[in-house]
């Protein structure tokens, strides 16, 4: 990570964190300074350290949100760390640009509170030890140039704007004319560090105010309007923001939420050459003549394609171009899951390439043959994720799903319309199970299930109303999804005890849709794990998908669903009619999973669909007569 105004290395994070934790617009709390990751306009796309990821279906989904995007690119990564600590090495300056934020600092000795623009603080850049980079108070009266700390309070709004806390306006209660030369100090009046024990004072006019006046709904209405500042883009929003600001603390979990899209990379053809062409499409898309292929071969840009003749490669390029043209436009509503579903249920061995995709069908467990149609072991898979925006204060939730076609108000990644977005790819393994559609339909027709469906739908409507999502009927997944989702969580919890992976490392992908004239009926789940290295994972999860193992774990998962440590409160929980929750009998002690594992934020769960509970006996699917 580097500073865009001064090329100094100030710290490091893992490449995956630049997608899910410290992406564009996020704050990174380094050992001695806090910085914000700059927008894509400031990034340097060096082809030596960044490479384009090819996944046409995901790119189409990204273009649905950002029409000008042409490619998905990995964050810069230096594989050779020999020059990491040497400022004379070119790789020392490879990274992501950041800027110091917040701009207000506090001296821990004299408690001076001032912005960097006051020139009271100087940057002490440590070239050989970037983690020691800090700001110092040059004229402190109580210590010799002590290290200063970033002010711990910020101002943000739901539109993604972020600003320094309005310290001068706050302490003077909005009366800027009272004090012409404010000199602020942030005093700690108690040992707890709570807002009520922090006081901002102005030495010039003697104004004082406690920080607890900046928190709470009533006090929020008294704070000034949002300035529309976008520090990651170094500008202000051109449209006036009428939302009141909200005081948040530095390092708060609601400062940044990524809005990302992901897809399982599936082969576009059984032809291995077509698969390799898609991998190299960022280079091959510009090929118009067969002679260009010979040039690419000579400079070593064909990779695994180099073993095939030029004519075969050129024909595959033309076929892939025609496939893209016929595949739809950038404004076509993306459908990421249906193609994946078809590949899994058909499990054509001709599509296996051994490196990125490999399927193997096995028999369903004997104790699950009446409700599982088939089990497919995904011995190799590749998942691609692209960052398309971010939110603050509130997570995007349902609005992140591109298949729902909900208008989003995410904060932008760049000042101008981006032509590329950050992306990452991981490889792993998984277990795919397809449910018996006839059993699903028979269960959905039961009177008790329809009543439960109505109860969930009312909770869903209230939840949508509180978040401004229109047409709730369009986004309601129904009891089919709730059953599959609950089964997925119960099975994930059970598998995590045996497969050797942490619960947060296992993820789900739910395939659920009712049969319609233009849509395939889907009822299945993919439980998978992945890792950023090229080898992926080691087979621990796939091994549990073998019939004798999977049958045992399904039985145990359903048995554990009968009782919860929080019963009877958990079993008696009904979907909230006040817009707060959309789950039934589910909690952290039974069905909830880490946020990295669940695709719906632990919503639409109900273990009453899996087994009889102390509250419900007639809506379970697995004891159906």
507 shares a domain with 429? yes
What are the DSSP calls for 394-442, one per residue? Answer: S--GGGG-GGGT----PBPSSSSPPSEEEEEEEEEEEEEEEE-HHHHHH
Question: What are the backbone angles phi and psi of residue 23, rounded to the nearest 5°?
Answer: -80, -170
Domain's final residue, options 301, 326, 351: 326
352 shares a domain with 289? no
β-pair partners for 71: 420
In a domain, 358, yes or no: yes
Domain containing 303 equals: 260-326
Q: What 3-state class would DSSP assign to 519?
A: coil
343 shares a domain with 322? no
Whether the pLDDT of residue 588 is over 60: the answer is yes
Cα–Cα distance, 390 to 404 (Å, whole number)? 18
Question: What are the backbone angles phi and psi of residue 572, rounded to the nearest 5°?
Answer: -85, -5
pLDDT, greater one: 230 or 94: 230
For 128, residues 6+ apart whose C-beta sits below 8 A from its C-beta are 85, 87
pLDDT in tens, 8-36: 778 788 877 888 889 999 999 988 999 99
pLDDT, greater one: 322 or 152: 152
In a domain, 382, yes or no: yes
Cα–Cα distance, 427 to 149 (Å, whole number)? 40
Which pLDDT score is estimated for 467? 75
Which pLDDT score is estimated for 28? 93
Cα–Cα distance, 24 to 96 (Å, whole number)? 9
Cα–Cα distance, 462 to 470 (Å, whole number)? 11
414 shares a domain with 375? yes
In a domain, 601, yes or no: yes
What are the DSSP calls for 522-584, one per residue? Answer: EEEEEEEEEESSTT---SHHHHTTSHHHHHHHHHHHHHHTT--TTTTHHHH----SSSS---S
321 shares a domain with 345? no
Domain's final residue, options 275, 298, 326: 326
In b/e form, how buried is each residue of 4-29, taking b as 16+ CB within 10 angstroms? beeebbbbebeeeebbeebbbbbbbe
Whether the pLDDT of residue 478 is over 50: the answer is yes
Answer for the pair 492, 593: CB distance below 8 angstroms, yes or no: yes
In a domain, 115, yes or no: no
pLDDT, greater one: 87 or 145: 145
517 shares a domain with 378? yes
Percent of the chain with pLDDT over 90: 45
361 shares a domain with 307? no
Nearest CA to 36 out of 47, 45, 28, 46 is that of: 28
**Element counts in the chain: helices (H) and strands (E):** 16, 24
Answer for the pair 397, 475: CB distance below 8 angstroms, yes or no: no
pLDDT in tens, 361-380: 999 999 999 999 999 999 99
603-622 average pLDDT score: 92
pTM: 0.82
Beta strands in 446-547, from DSSP E residues, in sequence order = 506-513, 522-531
What domain count does the chain have?
2
Which pLDDT score is estimated for 272? 66
578 shares a domain with 495? yes
Q: For residue 423, what pLDDT band results from cuts at 50, 70 and 90? A: very high
In a domain, 208, yes or no: no
Radius of gyration of the chain measured on its C-alpha atoms: 27
In a domain, 162, yes or no: no
444 shares a domain with 419? yes
Which pLDDT score is estimated for 330? 46
Domain's final residue, options 326, 354, 376: 326
Long-range CB contacts for residues 513-519, cutoff 8 Å, separation at least 24: 513/338, 513/480, 514/478, 514/480, 515/437, 519/338
Lowest-confidence segment of 148-152, 219-223, 425-429 by average pLDDT: 219-223
492 shares a domain with 368? yes
Whether the pLDDT of residue 176 is over 70: the answer is no
In a domain, 460, yes or no: yes
366 shares a domain with 282? no
Q: For residue 268, what pLDDT band results from cuts at 50, 70 and 90? A: low
Answer for the pair 53, 15: CB distance below 8 angstroms, yes or no: no
In a domain, 68, yes or no: no
Answer for the pair 246, 393: CB distance below 8 angstroms, yes or no: yes
270 shares a domain with 404? no
Q: For residue 7, what pLDDT band results from cuts at 50, 70 and 90? A: low
């Amino acid at each position: 990570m580097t500073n865009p105004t001064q090329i100094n290395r100030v710290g490091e994070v893992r490449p995956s964190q630049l997608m899910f934790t410290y992406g564009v617009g996020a704050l990174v709390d380094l050992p001695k300074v806090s910085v914000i990751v700059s927008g894509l306009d400031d990034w340097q796309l060096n082809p030596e350290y960044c490479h384009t990821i090819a996944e046409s279906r995901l790119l189409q989904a990204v273009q649905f949100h950002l029409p000008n995007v042409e490619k998905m690119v990995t964050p810069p990564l230096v594989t050779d760390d020999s020059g990491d600590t040497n400022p004379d090495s070119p790789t020392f300056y490879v990274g992501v640009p950041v800027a110091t934020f917040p701009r207000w600092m506090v001296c821990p000795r004299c408690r001076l509170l001032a912005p960097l623009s006051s020139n009271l603080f100087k940057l002490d850049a440590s070239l050989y030890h970037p983690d020691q980079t800090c700001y110092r108070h040059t004229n402190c009266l109580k210590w010799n140039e002590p290290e200063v700390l970033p002010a711990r309070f910020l101002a943000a709004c739901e539109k993604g704007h972020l600003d320094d806390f309005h310290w001068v306006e706050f302490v003077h209660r909005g009366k800027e004319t009272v004090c012409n030369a404010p000199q602020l100090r942030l005093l700690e009046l108690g040992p707890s560090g709570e807002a009520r024990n922090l006081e901002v004072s102005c030495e010039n006019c003697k104004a004082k105010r406690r920080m607890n006046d900046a928190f709470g709904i009533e006090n929020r209405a008294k704070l000034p309007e949002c300035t529309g500042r976008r520090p990651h883009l170094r500008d202000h929003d051109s449209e006036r923001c009428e939302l009141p600001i909200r005081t948040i603390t530095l390092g708060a979990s609601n400062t940044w939420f990524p809005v990302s899209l992901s897809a399982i990379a599936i082969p576009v053809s059984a032809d291995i050459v077509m698969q390799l062409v898609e991998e190299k499409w960022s280079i091959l898309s510009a090929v118009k003549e067969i002679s260009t292929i010979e040039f690419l071969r000579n400079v070593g840009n064909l990779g695994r394609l180099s073993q095939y003749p030029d004519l075969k490669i050129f024909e595959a390029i033309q076929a892939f171009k025609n496939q893209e043209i016929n595949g739809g436009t950038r404004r076509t509503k993306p459908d990421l899951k249906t193609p994946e579903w078809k590949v899994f249920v058909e499990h054509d061995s001709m599509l296996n390439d051994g490196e990125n995709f490999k399927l193997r069908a096995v028999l369903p467990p004997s104790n699950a043959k009446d409700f599982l149609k088939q089990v497919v072991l995904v011995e190799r898979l590749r998942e691609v994720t692209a960052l398309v925006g971010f939110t603050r204060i509130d997570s995007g939730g349902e609005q992140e799903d591109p298949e729902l076609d909900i208008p989003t108000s995410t904060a932008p990644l760049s000042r101008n319309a981006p032509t590329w977005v950050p992306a990452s790819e991981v490889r792993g393994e998984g277990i795919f199970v397809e449910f018996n559609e006839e059993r699903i339909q028979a269960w959905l027709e039961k009177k008790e299930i329809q009543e439960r469906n109505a109860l969930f739908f009312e909770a869903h409507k209230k939840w949508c109303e509180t978040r401004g999502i229109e047409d709730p009927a369009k986004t309601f997944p129904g009891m089919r999804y709730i059953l599959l989702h609950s089964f997925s969580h119960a099975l994930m919890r059970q598998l995590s005890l045996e497969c050797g992976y942490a619960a947060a490392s296992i993820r789900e992908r739910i395939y659920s849709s009712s049969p319609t004239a233009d849509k395939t009926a889907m009822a299945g789940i993919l439980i998978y794990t992945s890792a950023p290295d090229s080898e992926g994972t080691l087979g621990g999860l796939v091994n549990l998908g073998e019939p004798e193992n999977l049958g045992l774990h399904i039985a145990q998962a359903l048995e554990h669903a009968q009782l919860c440590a929080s019963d009877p409160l958990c079993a008696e929980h009904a979907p909230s009619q006040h817009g707060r929750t959309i789950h039934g009998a589910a909690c952290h002690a039974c069905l909830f999973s880490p946020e990295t594992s669940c695709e719906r934020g632990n919503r639409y769960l109900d273990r009453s669909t899996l087994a009889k509970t102390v509250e419900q006996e007639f809506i379970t699917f697995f004891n159906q007569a």
